């Protein structure tokens, strides 16, 4: 009896595998290869996701699917883990991370009103990114500059003693910078 | 080695059980049924719903009886006022975050959450909180996902993973926003879902349901221009009675036929005949494969299994029998052979298939299972039967491509239609299927149970291979397969190595062996659902005293099919005169080019690829 099929291959594994490697890039793909050679590759799922997020800033469905294929863990499981942990972000991050300090000092100095103004101006809420990809809104608990309360941190820059009325001008400054900067630079 | 025995008291009664028994199981021995929701005896333990809590002396907190194992001297209280209140609170909180549409819900009267609310004595709404809102996912041809009705019990996640090995579902997000969905909350038809419908079966509420098909069928029946034909799968007759209070395992073939006629179908045909035809085509295919390969040949009747093959094991596609399923073979014959024989325009024929299966709804929509009608296409032999006026209506020789099967109904949907029509199935007289597609051998009936296709194939192949009448008809070694079986069957000089699997986790074991090629199989039967079609995703919710996936329930339904087979004069597909006539007058014999065009199909790798 001949168990070997004589017909053309109906397998798509090589294409699926190549596409997954392309999505993640070789360094991460090689890290997953190493995991697969070690005992219990599935136990490395979170370690792999950390690397993917470090490289791409967030975990897209395409990234998660690629991890699923290369690590051979069902995509539903990978996505379930990624969506459960607060650390993993499933949306791309904006060019500027806009951190509003809601620590005690900033809060009593009116950070909540500053925050509300930002939310109104940008039309996004905590953890979200504007459609133009410029801002991601985050909260901080303390930025260590309580003397300047209330404090905003945008990108690497601090803004102190911010009032709600100053918010539009501050945002505009970064929008302008984002428009002027060549694509792909921060 | 004998297990250690442990003694405990439950509500003051003493009971001795094996070490490792849970409180819930120990209670059952005393006739105490602890309320439960996420617990399912055929699935792993999750302990998430907290409905099954009991008091254990000196513990200071309530314990989940489904997951807590007993210890020596344990004192359990299942029914204090406090524990009943706590359970009632838990169920009330679940209800608070649940749509209040019981009366218009398909699971009304058949819902475990509703039953719990009744049993716990929830008679008023005490909690008013935020309710989760999710869109209805209607993307799949087979399975509808309604996350607003989900109670996060996780049974669907577990059945999809543990029984089917598909792992399409998981819980996404956390806290209040947790939702059960395919990866990334993708639509069901963009996921690795194989549409078996076991999530529908195990769901305690209506978070998963089949895509409704009855509306279109009512409409077709009411349309006088339509010739509406129905065919029923082997396993329907073994389960439909349960919907009308008959004990599980009561065959109801004749009464079902009468009910279908009263519903207004113009002809009532038997998919068993399609099964007979499948057997003959498959036996011929096996003969060819024994000479030319590739072996093993894997059966192709189960559409959930075919979906699994295309997404999870595409490299094994050459091993799948090219035979269409019995349903699609029947539909092909109805729109060609039957139309020609009766002189009916095949474009006016509307084929309804009653199936134990939701994946059949998808199969019916596959482009491979369509037919071009009325274009002078001699391949389908349809032009000759078209009256000239209709040919003009059809668009001046322009053909129309139509599905072979126009609508698929599950057993559950048919039960509902019969009830909706006010037909009392139990007291109906016995009816007979209509000629020329109503006569079937007992071999066809076997298709509804695991191992049935294998047994029917062996019946046919033993004569084909040896050229002598078969020395036996029953191949009990492939009956009542509890998930997985491998065995050898002697046929002539061949010692045939066969494998039978139901439930795709079991199928994986055989498929991996095929891939390794260590133990060459000749024939493998795979049925996606546990127990085969009798346990299909479209079968009735279990009656009182049984649970879904219950081996006792599946065995009773299968026993009905074996009894039907044993009670028939005609037991071999080859001896079915209706089949002989089809081959003689229409198909040019088994395995002919024409038979291939009408009765065979092809498969292709599909994305997303599943992780196995």
Contacts of B514 in chain A (CB under 8 A): 3
The radius of gyration of chain B from alpha carbons, rounded to an integer in Å, stands at: 26
For residue B54, give every residue at least 6 positions away whose Cβ sits within 8 Å of its Cβ, in sequence order, or none: B23, B27, B34, B62, B63, B65, B76, B77, B78, B83
- The beta-carbon neighbor of B167 closest among A61, A77, A83 is A77
Query: Please, where in chain B does CATH 3.40.50.1780 lie?
Result: 215-599
Helix and strand numbers, DSSP H then E, in chain A? 8, 4
Domain boundaries B215-599, CATH class: alpha beta
- Does B293 sit within 8 Å of A79, measured CB to CB? no
For residue B113, give every residue at least 6 positions away whose Cβ sits within 8 Å of its Cβ, in sequence order, or none: B37, B91, B94, B95, B98, B151, B204, B205
Which H/E stretch holds residue B557? helix B551-566
pLDDT given for residue A1 in this prediction: 41
pLDDT given for residue B375 in this prediction: 54
Please give the structure tokens belonging to residue A42. Answer: 């599935």
Token pair 């019995």 is at which residue?
B326
Please give the structure tokens belonging to residue B585. Answer: 């007058």
| Among candidate residues B53, B41, B43, B49, the one with its CA nearest the CA of residue B95 | B49
Interface contact B294, partner A, CB < 8 A:
yes
Mean pLDDT, each 10-residue run in order, chain B (612 residues): 90 95 96 96 95 95 96 96 95 94 94 96 89 95 97 98 97 94 95 97 97 96 97 98 96 98 98 96 91 93 98 97 97 96 96 98 96 63 37 53 97 97 96 96 95 92 81 88 92 89 97 91 96 97 93 96 95 93 94 93 96 94
pLDDT tens track for B311-367: 999 999 999 999 999 999 999 999 999 999 999 999 999 999 999 999 999 999 999
Contacts of A65 in chain B (CB under 8 A): 183, 608
| Among candidate residues A134, A144, A136, the one with its CA nearest the CA of residue A98 | A136
| Among candidate residues B3, B20, B4, B84, the one with its CA nearest the CA of residue B51 | B84
CA B270/CA B234 separation, integer angstroms: 8
pLDDT given for residue B473 in this prediction: 87
Burial label, B335 (beta-carbon count in 10 A; 0-12, 13-18, 19+): buried
Q: Which one is predicted more confidently, A147 or A181? A: A147
Provide the phi-psi class of B434: left if phi over 0, else alpha when psi is between -120 and 50, else beta: beta
Looking at this predicted complex, what is its ipTM?
0.91
- Domains of chain A listed by start with CATH number: 13-84 (1.10.10), 96-180 (3.40.30.10)
Instruction: Kindly tell me if the per-residue pLDDT of A184 is higher than 70.
Output: no
CA B604/CA B322 separation, integer angstroms: 12
CA atoms within 13 A on the CB side of B56: 20
CA distances to B35, B49, B89, B102, B314 from B126, rounded to whole Å, are 21, 19, 9, 18, 53
Contacts of A11 in chain B (CB under 8 A): 314-315, 605
Interface contact B287, partner A, CB < 8 A:
no
- The beta-carbon neighbor of B315 closest among A11, A64, A73 is A11
Query: Please, where in chain B does CATH 3.10.20.740 lie?
Result: 5-79
User: Does residue B363 have an active-site annotation?
Assistant: yes
- Does A68 sit within 8 Å of B294, measured CB to CB? no
pLDDT given for residue A182 in this prediction: 60
Is the separation of the CB atoms in B508 and B610 below 8 Å?
no
pLDDT given for residue B191 in this prediction: 97
Please provide the DSSP assignment of A105-132 as one string.
Answer: HHHHTTHHHHHHHHHHHHT--TT-B-TT
Please give the structure tokens belonging to residue A185. Answer: 């630079």
Instruction: Kindly tell me if the per-residue pLDDT of A134 is higher than 50.
Output: yes
Q: Which one is predicted more confidently, A8 or B253? A: B253
Q: Which pTM value belongs to this model?
A: 0.90
Interface contact B165, partner A, CB < 8 A:
no
pLDDT tens track for A80-132: 999 999 889 898 888 899 999 999 999 999 999 999 999 999 999 998 899 99
User: Does residue B285 have an active-site annotation?
Assistant: yes
Q: Which residue does chain A place closest to B293, by CA atoms?
A: A2
Is the separation of the CB atoms in B38 and B48 below 8 Å?
yes
User: Does residue B148 have an active-site annotation?
Assistant: no
Is the separation of the CB atoms in B52 and B36 below 8 Å?
yes
Bond from prior residue into A171 cis (ω within 30 degrees of 0)? no
Q: Which residue does chain B place closest to A4, by CA atoms?
A: B294
User: Does residue B360 have an active-site annotation?
Assistant: yes
CA B208/CA B39 separation, integer angstroms: 18
CA B47/CA B64 separation, integer angstroms: 6
User: Does residue B357 have an active-site annotation?
Assistant: no
Domain covering B5-79 in this structure, CATH number: 3.10.20.740
Is the separation of the CB atoms in B316 and B515 below 8 Å?
yes
Residue B214 CB coordination number (10 Å): 16
pLDDT tens track for A14-40: 999 999 999 999 999 999 999 999 999
The dihedrals phi and psi of B6, each to the nearest 5 degrees, come to -125, 140
pLDDT given for residue A185 in this prediction: 47
The alpha carbon dihedral of A167, A168, A173, A175 has a sign of positive
């Amino acid at each position: 009896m001949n168990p070997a099929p004589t017909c053309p291959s109906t397998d798509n594994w090589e294409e699926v595998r190549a596409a997954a490697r392309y999505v993640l890039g070789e360094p991460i793909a090689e890290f997953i290869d190493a995991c697969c050679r070690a005992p219990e590759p599935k136990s490395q799922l979170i370690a792999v996701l950390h690397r993917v997020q470090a490289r791409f800033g967030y975990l897209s469905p395409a990234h998660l699917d690629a991890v699923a294929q290369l690590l051979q863990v069902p995509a539903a499981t990978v996505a379930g883990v990624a969506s459960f942990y607060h650390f993993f972000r499933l949306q791309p991050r904006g060019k500027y991370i806009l951190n509003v300090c809601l620590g005690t000092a900033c809060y009593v100095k009116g950070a909540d009103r500053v925050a509300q103004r930002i939310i109104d101006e940008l039309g996004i809420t905590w953890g979200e990114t504007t459609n133009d990809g410029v801002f991601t809104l985050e909260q901080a608990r303390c930025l260590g500059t309580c003397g300047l309360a209330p404090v905003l941190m945008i990108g690497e820059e601090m803004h102190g003693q911010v009032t709600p009325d100053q918010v539009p001008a501050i945002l505009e400054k970064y929008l302008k910078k984002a428009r002027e900067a060549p694509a792909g630079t921060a | 080695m004998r297990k250690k025995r442990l003694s405990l008291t439950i509500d003051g009664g003493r009971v001795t059980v094996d070490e490792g028994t849970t409180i819930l199981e120990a209670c059952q021995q005393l006739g105490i049924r602890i309320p439960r929701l996420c617990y399912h005896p055929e699935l792993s333990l999750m302990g998430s719903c907290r409905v099954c809590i009991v008091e254990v002396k000196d513990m200071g907190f309530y314990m989940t009886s489904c997951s807590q194992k007993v210890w020596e001297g344990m004192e359990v209280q299942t029914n204090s006022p406090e524990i009943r209140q706590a359970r009632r609170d838990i169920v009330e909180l679940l209800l608070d975050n649940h749509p209040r549409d019981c009366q218009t819900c398909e699971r009304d009267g058949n819902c475990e959450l509703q039953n719990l609310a009744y049993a716990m004595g929830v008679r008023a709404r005490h909690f008013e909180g935020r309710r989760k809102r999710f869109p209805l996912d209607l993307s799949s041809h087979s399975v509808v996902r309604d996350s607003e009705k989900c109670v996060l019990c996780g049974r669907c996640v577990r059945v999809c993973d543990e029984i089917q090995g598909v792992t399409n579902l998981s819980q996404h997000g956390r806290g209040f926003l947790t939702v059960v969905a395919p990866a990334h909350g993708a639509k069901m038809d963009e996921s690795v879902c194989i549409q078996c419908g076991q999530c529908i079966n195990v769901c305690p509420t209506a978070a998963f349901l089949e895509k409704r098909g009855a509306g279109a069928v009512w409409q077709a029946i009411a349309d006088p221009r339509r010739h509406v034909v129905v065919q029923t799968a082997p396993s329907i007759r073994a389960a439909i009675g349960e919907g009308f209070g008959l004990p599980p395992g009561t065959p109801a073939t004749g009464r079902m036929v009468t009910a279908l006629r009263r519903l207004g179908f113009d002809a009532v045909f038997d998919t068993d005949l399609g099964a007979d035809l499948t057997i003959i085509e498959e036996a011929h295919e096996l003969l060819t494969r024994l000479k030319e390969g590739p072996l093993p040949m894997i059966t192709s009747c189960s559409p959930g299994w075919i979906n699994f093959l295309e997404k999870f094991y595409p490299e094994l596609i050459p091993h799948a029998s090219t035979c269409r399923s019995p349903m699609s073979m029947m539909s092909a014959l109805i729109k060609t052979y039957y139309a020609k024989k009766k002189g009916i325009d095949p474009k006016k024929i509307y084929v309804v298939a009653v199936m134990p299966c939701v994946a059949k709804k998808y199969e019916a929509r596959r482009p491979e299972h369509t037919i071009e009608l009325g274009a002078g296409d001699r391949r389908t032999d349809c032009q000759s039967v078209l009256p000239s006026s209709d040919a003009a209506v059809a668009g001046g020789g322009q053909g129309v491509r139509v599905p072979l099967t126009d609508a698929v109904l599950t057993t559950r949907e048919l039960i509902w239609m019969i009830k909706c029509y006010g037909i009392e199935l139990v007291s109906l007289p016995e009816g007979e299927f209509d000629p020329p597609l109503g006569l079937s051998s007992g071999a066809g009936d076997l298709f509804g149970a695991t191992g049935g296709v294998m047994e029917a194939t062996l019946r046919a192949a033993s004569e084909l291979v040896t050229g002598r009448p078969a020395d036996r008809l029953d191949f009990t070694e492939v009956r009542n397969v509890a998930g997985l079986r491998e065995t050898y069957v002697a046929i002539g000089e061949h010692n045939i190595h066969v494998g039978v699997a139901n439930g795709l986790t079991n199928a994986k074991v055989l498929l991996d062996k095929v891939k390794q090629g260590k133990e060459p199989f000749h024939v493998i039967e795979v049925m996606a659902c546990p127990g085969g079609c009798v346990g299909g995703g479209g079968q009735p919710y279990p009656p009182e005293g049984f649970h879904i996936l219950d081996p006792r329930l599946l065995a009773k339904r299968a026993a009905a099919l074996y009894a039907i087979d044993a009670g028939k004069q005609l037991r071999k597909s080859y001896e079915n005169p209706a089949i002989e006539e089809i081959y003689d007058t229409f198909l040019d014999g088994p395995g002919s080019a024409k038979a291939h065009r009408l009765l065979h199909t092809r498969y292709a790798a599909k994305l997303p690829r599943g992780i196995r």
